[in-house]
Structure 1
Amino acid sequence: MFKNARLYRLHEPFPLAAAALEERLAARRFRPCGPLETATLGWTPPFRDGPDEHGRLVHASSGCLLICARRQERLLPGSVVTEALEERVSEIEGNEVRTVGRSERRRLREGILAELLPRAFTRSRRILAYLDTVAGWLVVDAASDKVAEDLVSLLRETLDSLPATPPRPPGVPATRMTDWLKGGRGPQGFELGDACELRDPRDTQSVIRCRGQDLAGEEIATHLRAGKQAVQLALDWHERLAFVLGEDLALKRLRLADELLEGAEEQDEEDPLVRFEAGFTLLAGELRGLIEELAQVFELTDQGAQTAPRAEDQAAAGQTR
């Protein structure tokens, strides 16, 4: 379900239960691009069973609220617009024997955009995320900061406020990950995987990417002695969840252990929605434990200064709003 996990610490207890959050998200439900719009962003159901976009916007499980944003954009390459503009300018200058000025070029460009946009193809992207109201984290399935910030900004606009920031550890994560590589082992509960990215802090263009590699071997040690640092590192958490940890504490290439997936599949539930929600419950539970241990390793436990409410208190808070 989630391939990535970008983390945002909630600095206050999240005040809304599922029903109240559903109501707020419905006010910003996704709509397709209009003829002259380059992009739209709104909320869409996390569970898709066909093309229907009118299902539930929030799925709740064990204090976690699953949501999904959808961004649609029109594909109109700048090179196409530039080529059409140059043809239009050449035609005017040739027929009227004059030079087209900057302001006129700008008006011509706007006119070309108005002509081409309605005929441009559209592309959509879904961004899953969930709010862990018990542990106090927002987790976004995004491979880049830009995509994650799109969802976080939309959520802030929808709720009017969302005190949440990426984790800021007191030390440098790359230094700690490099120490694990030098020692040939991860912290307690974490085993080194077989992939890493090493970078020279004095020359950011000097990068080594390794996959299928013995990270405790001499080849990696040679790069470390040359001064390179680990900025991405594959880890396995308690043989339950494998991932690649970045220097920004983002998780990529998430993969649940086969034993966990097989156990979920053995339930043999025919209802796709029930299977979807069971998969989310499994993933969110494992990520809650993983994030808790990462917070201890990187000393994030005091960040946010919040006391997470119990699930029953959270539900009561939502009913009294």
Structure 2
Amino acid sequence: MFKNARFFRLDQPFEFTALELEAALGTRRFRPCGPIETATLGWTAPLGEDAQALVQAVSGCYLICARRQERLLPAAAITEALDERIAELEAGEARDVGRAERRRLREQIINEMLPRAFTRSRRTQLYLDTESGWLVVDAASEKQAEDVVSLLRETLGSLPVKLPDPLHPVANLLTAWLLEDCAPPDFVAADACELREIGEQAGVVRCSRHNLACEEILNHLRAGKQVTKLALVWDERLSFTLADDLSLKRVRVNDALLEQLDGDELDPAQRLDAEFALLALQMRELLTRFDALFGLTDASADAVIPRARHDRI
């Protein structure tokens, strides 16, 4: 289901039930771009455009989905049309076009081109784990995650979340895992990493399909580079690339776990529930391991996040 994962810690208990969350998301349901809108962002059904339910509730987790649509206006096309318009004015009126007029012409051209522009949509799935107190977003970039978190905050009126602030820097531990061969037994390094020097003029080495225990990699680490991304396999359950900001990319569930879902007896909604439950459980346990390794929470923070009320829609 999720190819990426960016984690946000809930500062307060999430008090919405699934029905209350469904009603709130319905006030910001996705709609297509209007004729002169450059982009729209709203909530859509996780099961697909033909479904209606905006929330899939399983095992204390609420799966939701944001959809962004934008009109594609290539900058080169706008610039070309603007240059042509300016050339016509300067030739016809024998005068130079000033900066302020140039800006007005550019806005006019964009408004003329927008209704005819193609549109492109992107879906971003995310879920709230109300039992463990985490928000998990399937976003490849920080901005994409921030956009949907901001939408959720605006929709609910308030959403106190923050990025994890590890007590033990992730890059330091990942570097030690490779340099000293001291990774915990449930984490196995795969064949890809990113090594980065410290400083403003930082050099970067990216390796893929490479033996990370070889002398070439170790020499880079001995010279002072740090591991800022590392491909890992966790407990033979999940594989992913872990970055030093604790984001995950290339997330993949182990085939043996997926085989539990094989069969034609599940309808699409049931299969989504099963896949989501499987993923959310693995992520919940993985975050518990991250907490133990990197120090993501403290006892006082955990104490203020009791279980929220749950119901199923």
Q: CA deviation at 1:189?
A: 2.0
Would the aligned equivalents of 1:5 and 1:140 in 2 still touch at CA under 8 Å?
yes
Determine if the alignment matches structure 1 residue 273 to structure 2 residue 269.
yes
Given candidates 53, 65, 68, the residue that maps to 1:68 is 65
CA distance in 2, matches of 1:167, 1:212: 30
Distance 1:195 1:218, change over 3 A: same
Question: Given the alignment of the two structures, is residue 302 of structure 1 paired with residue 298 of structure 2, yes or no?
Answer: yes
Distance 1:135 1:204, change over 3 A: farther
Q: Secondary structure at the match of 2:292?
A: helix
d(CA) in 1 for partners of 2:38, 2:25: 22
Q: How does 1:136-285 map to 2 (within 5 A)?
A: 136-202=133-199, 204-265=201-262, 267-285=263-281
Describe the SS at the equivalent of 1:305. Answer: helix
How has the CA–CA distance of structure 1 residues 303 and 207 changed in structure 2, closer, same or farther, with 3 Å as cutoff? Answer: farther
8 Å contact kept, 1:190–1:238 = yes
Asked if structure 2 preserves the Cα contact closer than 8 Å seen for 1:9 and 1:303, the reply is no
Offset at 1:205? 4.7
Structure 1 residue 188, shift from structure 2 partner:
4.1
Give 3-state SS (helix, strand or coil) of 1:314's partner. Answer: coil
Runs of 4+ in 1 over 2 A off after TM superposition: 202-205, 267-270, 306-310
Bigger shift: 205-214 or 69-78? 205-214
State the alpha-carbon separation in 2 of the partners of residues 31 and 170 from structure 1.
Answer: 42
Residue 18, structure 1, aligned to residue 23, structure 2: no
Q: Structure 1: which amino acid aligns with 2:199? A: R
- Partners of 1:136 and 1:236 lie apart in 2 by 24
1:106-134 residue CA offsets vs partner (Å, 9 max, x unmatched): 22111111110100000000000000000
1:4-15 matched pairs, under 5 angstroms: 4-15=4-15
Equivalent residue, structure 1, for 2:89 = 92
Is the contact between residue 71 and residue 125 of structure 1 (CA under 8 Å) also seen in structure 2? yes
Q: CA RMSD in A?
A: 1.7
In structure 2, distance between residues paired with 1:74 and 1:15: 36
Q: Is the 8 A contact 1:269 1:275 kept in 2?
A: no
Partner of 1:29: 29
Amino acid at match of 1:32: P
How far is 1:77 from its partner?
1.4
Q: Residues 304 and 74 from structure 1, CA distance in 2 versus in 1: closer, same or farther, beyond 3 angstroms?
A: farther
Uncovered stretches (5+) of structure 1, i.e. residues with no partner:
none
Amino acid at match of 1:40: T
- Aligned residue for 2:309, secondary structure, equals helix
Go from structure 1 to structure 2 and tell me whether the alpha carbon gap of 1:274 and 1:248 turns closer, same or farther (over 3 Å shift).
Answer: same
The answer (yes or no) to whether the contact 1:11–1:304 under 8 Å persists in 2 is no
AA aligned opposite 2:153: R
For 2:282 and 2:143, locate their aligned partners in 1 and report how far apart those are by CA, in whole Å.
26
Alpha-carbon offset, residue 203 of structure 1: 5.4
Mapped partners of 1:212, 1:303: distance in 2: 40
Consecutive unaligned residues of structure 2, counting only runs of 5 or more, are: none
Classify the secondary structure of the residue corresponding to 1:167: coil
Q: Percent identity?
A: 57
Give the TM-score taking structure 2 as reference length. Answer: 0.95
For 1:63-142, list aligned pairs within 5 A.
63-142=60-139
Distance 1:187 1:203 in 2: 32
Secondary structure of 2:67's aligned partner: strand
How far apart are the structure 2 equivalents of 1:63 and 1:86?
A: 57
Residue number in structure 2 paired with 1:314? 309
